[in-house]
A and B are shown apart, each in its own frame.
Chain A
Amino acid sequence: MENANKINYLNHPRGIISWLTTLDHKRIGILYLATVMFSFLLGGVFALLIRIKLVVPGEFLMSAEAYNRVFTLHGAIMIFLFIIPSIPATLGNFALPMMIGARDVAFPRLNLASWYIYVAGAVFAVYSMVHGGADTGWTFYTPYSTMTTSSVISMTLGAFILGFSSIFTGINFIVTIHKLRAPGLTWFKLPLFVWALYATAIIQILATPVLGITLLLLILERAFSIGVFNPALGGDPVLYQHFFWFYSHPAVYIMILPAMGIVSELISVFSHKKIFGYKAIAFSSFGIAFISFLVWGHHMFTSGQSDLASMIFSFLTFLVAIPSGIKVFNWLATLYKGSISFETPMLYGLSFLFLFTIGGLTGMFLGALATDVHLHDTYFIVAHFHYVMFGGTVMAFFGGLHYWWPKIWGKMYNKTWAVIAWIFTFVGFNITFFTQFILGSRGMPRRYYSYPAKYEGLHEISTAGSIILGVGMLIMAIYLISSLFRGKPAPANPWNALTLEWQTESPPPAANFAVTPTVTHGFYDYDKITANPKNES
């Protein structure tokens, strides 16, 4: 009860206007959290609709036209409205300034603007939805997307606008990391989550404009019949694929790099052990960010691009595997001789390690040219990227959410329900998507409304898994929301972590720190600094 009376960023100033005009990075993080989680709910409902339809081949639940819209909305919402902003704009916004001992980001107004731009982009997507929705798939491949009668323009315009919100966040983070570090916080003392956000921001700034230009060209082609991609107008549809993947492959790393950053924090904090290979982890983020710009052609091995191009793209794709592998081995080595506690965030951190390993290793089958020809555009791909995106990014996002939740709200969640939800999520996820590897290697193409009867059994298992996963998500939503009202007050540093955000109160005051902190120790020096019992309240 003591906390409730204290002035903190949540209770002062009060009123909805103060939230909608806030320049506080923590409040903007929460605005993002609310909208991003709503998008996740929407995308999740569409996902369940897809899975329920696929229980039986042939006509069921919805028409083929409706199904095509539903899987397009699932993909577009999950990618553009959920995963891309999920970690950087919510947890990054909340934690990054505090982790470097700053009072706010470098450009608070730009930060708020990025949220409003996100909302504007989301409005276009919703407009498209109520006007029948787009039926192109989230990839908007031409010439299909220039020929279909569905509302492609509003959907792509939405994605175009959302790009700016992503760029604004990226610029803000780069400048903040350069200019606002606390005294004594040198580059190689930075928390690894901050390094990961920095590498992410570089991709956001350099790759997102290319998507913007591409979608704009697509809109111009549809609206004014300017021939760029549509062969009927003298354009080239494969050019679109090159442009699209030049952004959308690096975008995969916009999604996964921040997740890797969170996992580095979780593994070290909950093993209570110095992170193994700090510089290797930091630099591998940049290695991944750099190579990510040069591998887009691996989405196009069957597109008719030249065999020479395919060979080069295949080779570069395998190069990305090496820094990703280095990270996994470093996390493993951090566990070695640690003092491992299995708090909820760590359960998600270890889940990430398990699931991302499967996602990464199955990428080997897809990077190799001969096997990719068979597996491309089948459920094998669907399974692979869900293991990386959900098994990787979303699991790390949940880990981060449970890690910073006490700091964000000053409240603890119910740990028993958290473990139950985690079991449902982990088990349900694996049943849903491991099945799809087998469906895919047996030849089941993706984006199919109906399918030959021989695939029915595996589809049923996959759908059963998705229901279990959905139950896990529901439980999580319930105990997290109820913790806001009934949760026990959280201490300043419930996990005995060394990074700076835990050195201030939970929830923090509006200015983050009473006094600007001076960094005298390393954030991973668990061998030198024993747990501070004073933090236990």
Chain B
Amino acid sequence: MDSLNNIFMPPQASTVAGDVDRLFHFIFYITLFFFILIVSLIVFFSIRYRRKKAGETTSGIAHNTALELLWTIIPAILVIIIFAWGFKAFIRMSIVPKDAIEIKVTAQRWMWKFDYPDGLTSINELVVPLGKPVKLLMSSTDVIHSFYVPGFRIKKDVLPNRYTIAWFEGTAEGTFDLYCAEYCGKGHSEMLGKVRVVPENDYRNWLATAAAADQSVPLEQLGSNLFVSRACNTCHSVTGARSVGPTFLGLFGHEVQLTDGGRIMADENYLRRSILEPQAQIVTGFQPVMPTYQGILSDREIDALIAYIKSLGKE
């Protein structure tokens, strides 16, 4: 059983994974039985009844009521058992325990954002306590995505116009792959995250230090940290190099040329609007592809990023 699991399934890491795998094994052995039966008969008949000479006569049997009932009823019973088992395990996977920690998941091309109960957020890394149920309240800001952690055997689509809910309880410490399983465009296969399952104390400590870090760090330093942790650096450089978006070096305090023909001074309000409404004022020569950071960054974090960009504008 274990060796079968090693071939087909990633290691079990949630409370429902064992249920799913037991059903997987049950179906595996049933289908294996029928596969061997059918293939053996094909091979046996092919050898036993191969044509030895032209013009052989064959039997005219075309019915056998008992046999026909047998191969209708036995499969019917088996598929109903598989259906019922699958449904029962599915319902267990759907009912969220009452004491679950609720984390808001926001999917957007091409990143995952997690909002924890006490206001902290993280990008592409979900940290959860071991042995505690976690409820995920999920929505998307653009197209459909799907939250998939193979180690937990859970998958749920993340939709732009409604909330969907998934839950899991980690049973093993470690870091597990999070994939986007619904095709969402160019960065679909890069929309990867990690779920880190840690002992409850470590989870508390992580929440506390991560939150404190934000409050105690000076704005400019915090902005420099956010530039990396919020993935601004994917598209913006601080070296003057051209990337998907304009560089931040020497940006602040200078006029920029917009695609609508106007020119605008890159001041605090321009930067704030560009972070929150990135499609509003597009700089000439660049595509309107930046996602909005509305709801992702707190006011203090926006202040921090502006302070950081300001520090790069002095030249």
Binding site for B on A (CB under 8 A): 64-65, 68, 135-137, 141, 143-144, 147-148, 231-232, 236-238, 271-278, 280, 301-304, 307, 310-311, 314-315, 318-319, 321-322, 325-326, 328-329, 332-333, 335-342, 350, 353-354, 357-358, 361-362, 364-365, 367-374, 376-378, 438, 441-443, 445-452, 524-528, 530-531, 533
Given contacts A357-B38, A450-B190, contact A441 B93 (CB under 8 A): no
CB pair A278 B8 closer than 8 Å: no
CB pair B86 A371 closer than 8 Å: yes
Taking CB atoms, residues of chain A closer than 8 Å to B148 are 377, 443, 445
Binding site for A on B (CB under 8 A): 7-10, 16, 19-20, 23-24, 27-28, 30-31, 34-35, 38-39, 41-42, 45-46, 49-52, 54-64, 67-68, 71-72, 75-76, 79-80, 82-83, 85-91, 93-94, 142-144, 146, 148, 150-151, 153-157, 159-162, 164, 177, 179-190, 192
Taking CB atoms, residues of chain A closer than 8 Å to B93 are 370, 373
10 A-B pairs closest in CB distance = A443-B150, A368-B86, A527-B60, A231-B161, A370-B89, A369-B90, A448-B189, A361-B31, A339-B56, A335-B45
Other A-B contacts than A338-B58, A357-B35, 20 sampled, CB-CB below 8 A, are A65-B186, A137-B183, A141-B182, A141-B183, A232-B160, A236-B161, A237-B144, A237-B161, A274-B59, A301-B90, A311-B90, A332-B45, A364-B31, A367-B86, A369-B89, A374-B20, A376-B181, A441-B8, A445-B181, A533-B55
Given contacts A322-B72, A449-B188, contact A304 B90 (CB under 8 A): no
CB pair B144 A530 closer than 8 Å: no
Would you give 25 A-B contacts (Cβ < 8 Å), ordered by A? A68-B185, A135-B185, A274-B62, A275-B62, A277-B68, A303-B157, A304-B159, A310-B90, A322-B79, A325-B75, A338-B49, A342-B50, A364-B27, A364-B30, A365-B31, A368-B86, A370-B16, A370-B23, A374-B20, A376-B155, A376-B181, A448-B189, A449-B188, A451-B189, A452-B192
CB pair A362 B159 closer than 8 Å: no
Given contacts A147-B142, A354-B42, A362-B31, contact A452 B177 (CB under 8 A): yes
Taking CB atoms, residues of chain A closer than 8 Å to B188 are 68, 447-449
Taking CB atoms, residues of chain B closer than 8 Å to A329 are 68, 71
A211 vs B46: C-alpha distance when bound (angstroms): 43
CB pair B90 A370 closer than 8 Å: yes
Taking CB atoms, residues of chain A closer than 8 Å to B159 are 231, 237-238, 304
Taking CB atoms, residues of chain A closer than 8 Å to B30 are 364
Taking CB atoms, residues of chain A closer than 8 Å to B19 are 370
Q: Which residue of chain B has its CB nearest to the CB of A278?
A: B62
For B7, B45, B59, B62, the residue with the greatest tally of chain A CB atoms inside 10 Å of its CB is B62
A319 vs B82: C-alpha distance when bound (angstroms): 12
A106 vs B90: C-alpha distance when bound (angstroms): 50
Q: Which residue of chain A has its CB nearest to the CB of B156?
A: A302
Taking CB atoms, residues of chain B closer than 8 Å to A442 are 8-10, 150
CB pair B39 A377 closer than 8 Å: no
Distance of B219 from chain A, by nearest CB (Å): 35
Taking CB atoms, residues of chain A closer than 8 Å to B76 are 322
Among B8, B10, B42, B88, point to the contact of A335 (Cβ < 8 A).
B42
CB pair A302 B155 closer than 8 Å: yes
Taking CB atoms, residues of chain B closer than 8 Å to A275 are 62
Taking CB atoms, residues of chain B closer than 8 Å to A278 are 62
Taking CB atoms, residues of chain B closer than 8 Å to A318 are 79-80, 82-83
Among B51, B83, B91, B160, point to the contact of A341 (Cβ < 8 A).
B51
Taking CB atoms, residues of chain A closer than 8 Å to B153 are 373-374
A312 vs B156: C-alpha distance when bound (angstroms): 19
Distance of A71 from chain B, by nearest CB (Å): 9
CB pair B142 A531 closer than 8 Å: no
Q: Which residue of chain A has its CB nearest to the CB of B287?
A: A149
Taking CB atoms, residues of chain A closer than 8 Å to B91 are 307
A135 vs B187: C-alpha distance when bound (angstroms): 12
Given contacts A322-B76, A350-B46, contact A302 B71 (CB under 8 A): no
Q: Which residue of chain A has its CB nearest to the CB of B7?
A: A438
CB pair A144 B39 closer than 8 Å: no
CB pair B75 A321 closer than 8 Å: yes
Q: Which residue of chain A has its CB nearest to the CB of B189?
A: A448
Q: Which residue of chain B has its CB nearest to the CB of A320?
A: B79
Q: Which residue of chain B has its CB nearest to the CB of A356?
A: B38
A318 vs B82: C-alpha distance when bound (angstroms): 9
Given contacts A370-B86, A370-B93, A447-B188, contact A336 B8 (CB under 8 A): no
Taking CB atoms, residues of chain A closer than 8 Å to B90 are 301, 307, 310-311, 369-370, 373
A232 vs B161: C-alpha distance when bound (angstroms): 8
Given contacts A361-B34, A369-B89, A371-B24, contact A337 B56 (CB under 8 A): no
A236 vs B19: C-alpha distance when bound (angstroms): 33
A88 vs B153: C-alpha distance when bound (angstroms): 40
A353 vs B34: C-alpha distance when bound (angstroms): 13
A339 vs B57: C-alpha distance when bound (angstroms): 8
Among B51, B55, B189, point to the contact of A530 (Cβ < 8 A).
B55
Distance of B121 from chain A, by nearest CB (Å): 23
Among A350, A371, A448, point to the contact of B42 (Cβ < 8 A).
A350
Taking CB atoms, residues of chain A closer than 8 Å to B54 are 531
Distance of A252 from chain B, by nearest CB (Å): 18
A369 vs B155: C-alpha distance when bound (angstroms): 12
Among B27, B56, B75, point to the contact of A371 (Cβ < 8 A).
B27
